[in-house]
A and B are shown apart, each in its own frame.
Chain A
Amino acid sequence: MTDVRPGPPMRIPGADAEAAWQILLARIPYARHLGLEVRRHDSGRELHLPYREPLIGNILLPALHGGVLGALVEITARVAAQSADAGGRRPQLLNCDIDYLRSARAQSTFARAEMIRQGRRSGLVRVICRQDDPPVGRVQLLFPGAAGPTRGPR
């Protein structure tokens, strides 16, 4: 299989960051499957994961699956990093490390990203998820072009 990454730089309308997030999010089939949405908040943008029954991981509590929060965190980090990248390059995730502070209930969940470091070859993003109270996630991303393990053959 050919390595399709990195793709051609995407032109992101700089004037409208919310539209940029929408465009980037709409390209991710799994994000569409989960029903992720871009929302505006006071100082920026966040992703909203509306509650649906297939997101449940613990039917007894009930609580969202840890992997669902993983997806919300990872995809928020990806969209934030790509929209912040001057060339609009699609980042490849190097790793993702999430601390779960409490179980996520069967309700809407929101995630905001903070770019800790934005470099030419790599970036570090911290993502905070919240419902009424926040679980916390932290994601490190590696940008394409770096000589990392993600560039190796399958």
Chain B
Amino acid sequence: MVGEGGLPGGDPVAVVRQFGEQVPHSRDLGMQVLAVEDDQVRMRLVPQPWLLDDDDAADLCSSVLYSLADSAAGLAVYAATRTLTPIATLDLRMDYLRPAAGDRAVVALARCLRFTEDVALVHCEIRSEGQTQPVATGTVNFMRNTQGRRFQAADEGDQRA
């Protein structure tokens, strides 16, 4: 059991997954939370025809990778801090290394490198599944403990009673 402001319940994977998969945009793009370990989160996205870059190309649109990086990075902050207080993206930089094939799932691995009460820094690498070289990397700065309500997990009432 965690203390005040911590992750409700005992299973961080379940809570982060529940949180991550409640986000409408993440759901719209079909993002799945694969794993939550220590300060890392792994997310997966299966390309769809409406996520492609151009009618004449078979690559994923870079902006889909951008969204995946932003989502995975935000969840990595929660994984590392074990706290579901609101965060806000301050700055996100993506570098696109090579095209991401539109017929292959992509997997993002986000790791929170450092956090304080105020900020958190996350690095994210995205690979096409089965490939060793990343298709994109991202670096994200978050502001922590921004205004707004904490996320309430479905079972939080029971856990915190």
Q: Do A and B bind each other?
A: yes
Query: Would B90 and A99 count as touching, CB distance under 8 A?
Result: yes
Interface 1/0s, chain B 70-97, versus A by CB < 8 A? 1100000000000000101111111111
Question: Of A1, A28, A57, A150, which one neighbours B96 at CB under 8 angstroms?
Answer: A150
- Provided the pairs A70-B92, A100-B89 are in contact, do residues A149 and B67 lie with their beta carbons within 8 angstroms? no
Q: Tell which of A28, A29, A61, A75 has the most Cβ of chain B within 10 Å.
A: A29
Query: Would B86 and A100 count as touching, CB distance under 8 A?
Result: no
Min CB distance B132 to A, Å, is 11
> How many residue pairs at the A-B interface have CB separations less than 8 Å?
149
Query: Would A93 and B101 count as touching, CB distance under 8 A?
Result: no
Min CB distance A147 to B, Å, is 14
Asked if B119 is at the interface (CB within 8 A of a chain A CB), the reply is no
CA A100 to CA B151, docked complex, whole Å? 22
- Provided the pairs A61-B148, A153-B98 are in contact, do residues A93 and B62 lie with their beta carbons within 8 angstroms? yes
Which residues of A, 51-96, contact B by the 8 Å Cβ criterion?
53-61, 64-68, 70-71, 74-75, 90, 92-96
Query: Would A59 and B24 count as touching, CB distance under 8 A?
Result: yes
Which residues of B, 114-134, contact A by the 8 Å Cβ criterion?
128, 131, 133
Asked if B35 is at the interface (CB within 8 A of a chain A CB), the reply is no
Question: Of B56, B63, B68, B128, which one neighbours A75 at CB under 8 angstroms?
Answer: B63
Asked if A97 is at the interface (CB within 8 A of a chain B CB), the reply is yes
Query: Would A71 and B22 count as touching, CB distance under 8 A?
Result: no
- Provided the pairs A54-B27, A56-B24, A71-B66 are in contact, do residues A33 and B148 lie with their beta carbons within 8 angstroms? no
Which residues of B, 29-85, contact A by the 8 Å Cβ criterion?
49-58, 61-64, 66-71
Asked if A131 is at the interface (CB within 8 A of a chain B CB), the reply is no
Query: Would A29 and B49 count as touching, CB distance under 8 A?
Result: yes
Query: Would A150 and B51 count as touching, CB distance under 8 A?
Result: no
Query: Would B97 and A150 count as touching, CB distance under 8 A?
Result: yes
Query: Would B54 and A28 count as touching, CB distance under 8 A?
Result: yes
Can you sample 22 A-B contacts with CB below 8 Å?
A4-B57, A4-B58, A5-B99, A27-B54, A29-B53, A33-B50, A56-B23, A57-B24, A58-B86, A65-B23, A67-B25, A67-B68, A68-B25, A68-B67, A75-B63, A90-B54, A94-B96, A95-B93, A96-B94, A97-B93, A98-B92, A150-B96
Residues of B with Cβ closer than 8 Å to A? 22-28, 49-58, 61-64, 66-71, 86, 88-99, 101, 128, 131, 133, 135, 148-149, 151
